[in-house]
Chains A and B, each alone.
Chain A
Amino acid sequence: MAKTKRRNVLKLAGTAAVASMGGMAGILATGRMPAFAQQRTVHWLKWVDFVPATDALLKREMMPEAEKALGIKINLETVNGNDLQPRITAGIQSGAGPDLIMSFNSYTHLYANSVVDVSAIAEEVGKREGGIFPYAKAICSNGKVYMGMPWAVIGGMIAYRKSWFDEAGITKFPDTWDSYREAAKKLKAKGRPFGQTLGHTFGDAPGFTYPYMWSWGGKEIDASGKVVINSKETVESVKFMQGLWKDGMDEGGLAWDDTNNNRAFLSQTISATLNGASIYIETLRKPDQYKTEKGTPMNKDILHAPLPKGPAGQFGFHLLQSNMLMKYSKNQDAAKEFLKWIHAEANYRKFFESQKGFATPCTVKWESDKLWDVDPVMAPFKVAARLGQAIGNAGPPDAKAQEVLSKYIVTDMYAKAVQGMPAEEAVKWAEAELKKVYV
Chain B
Amino acid sequence: MIEGALWRRWVFYNIPLILFVFVLLFPFYWMIVTTFRPDGELYLPWNAPNYMPFWTNNPTFEHILYLFEETNFARWMFNTMFIALVSTLISLFCGVLAGYALARLNFPYAGGLGTAIFITYLVPQTLLFIPLAEIIRNFKIGDTPWALILTYPTFLIPFCTWLMMGYFKAIPKELEECARIDGASRWKAMIYIIIPVAVPGILSSGIIAFTLSWNEFIYALVFLSSPDQKTVPVGVTSELIRGDVFFWGPLMAGALLGSIPVAIVYSFFVEHYVSGLTGSVKG
Contact = CB atoms under 8 A, between A and B. Distances in A.
Interface of A: 2, 6-7, 10, 14, 17-18, 23-25, 28-29, 31, 43, 45, 47-52, 75, 77-81, 83, 86-87, 90-91, 93-98, 258-259, 262-263, 266-267, 269, 275, 278-279, 282, 289
Given A78-B239, A282-B244, A28 B227 contact: no
Contact of A87 (B86, B90, B144, B225): B225
Contact of B142 (A48, A51, A97): A97
Q: Is the interface of B mostly helix, strand, loop or mixed?
A: helix
Contact of A75 (B86, B141, B226): B226
B243 A52 contact: yes
Interface stretch (B54-62, B104-112, B130-138): B130-138
Given A14-B86, A25-B144, A96 B243 contact: no
B149 interface: yes
Given A29-B144, A80-B241, A94-B133, A267 B44 contact: yes
A31 B130 CA distance: 24
Most chain B beta carbons < 10 A, residue from A45, A49, A96: A96
B40 interface: yes
B21 interface: no
Nearest to B246: A263
Contacts of A80: 238, 241-243
Contacts, number: 115
Contacts of A95: 137, 142
Contacts of A262: 244
B146 A18 contact: yes
Interface in B121-143: 130, 133-134, 136-137, 140-143
B216 interface: no
A77 B227 contact: yes
22 contacts: A7-B93, A14-B146, A25-B145, A28-B140, A28-B141, A29-B144, A31-B140, A49-B243, A50-B244, A75-B227, A80-B242, A81-B243, A86-B221, A90-B133, A90-B223, A91-B225, A93-B222, A94-B134, A94-B136, A94-B143, A97-B225, A98-B225
Contacts of B82: 17
Interface of A is mostly: helix
B211 to A, nearest CB: 21
Contacts of A45: 225
Interface in B201-235: 221-223, 225-229
A204 to B, nearest CB: 10
Nearest to A14: B86
Task: Sort A-B residue pairs by CB-CB distance and give the 5 closest, nearest first.
Answer: A96-B142, A95-B137, A262-B244, A50-B243, A93-B133
A29 B144 CA distance: 7
Nearest to A7: B93
Nearest to B238: A79
A25 B246 contact: no
A96 B137 contact: yes
Q: Which of A10, A86, A93, A269 has the most CB of B within 10 A?
A: A93
Contacts of B90: 10
A165 to B, nearest CB: 21
A282 B245 contact: yes
Given A79-B239, A90-B223, A29 B86 contact: no
Interface in B60-96: 82, 86, 89-90, 93
Contacts of B45: 267, 269
A358 to B, nearest CB: 10
Contact of A48 (B86, B137, B243): B243
B43 interface: yes
A280 B221 CA distance: 33
Contacts of A48: 242-243
A50, A95, A289 interface centre (most CB from chain B within 10 Å): A95
A8 to B, nearest CB: 13
A25 B243 contact: no
A370 B88 CA distance: 60
B2 interface: no
Given A81-B243, A94-B143, A95-B142, 17 more contacts: A10-B90, A18-B145, A25-B143, A25-B228, A29-B146, A50-B244, A75-B226, A78-B239, A83-B238, A90-B133, A94-B136, A94-B222, A96-B225, A258-B244, A259-B244, A267-B43, A282-B244
A266 B43 CA distance: 9
Contacts of A10: 86, 89-90, 93
A289 B40 contact: yes
Contacts of B6: none
A45 B225 CA distance: 10
B246 to A, nearest CB: 7
A93 B134 contact: yes
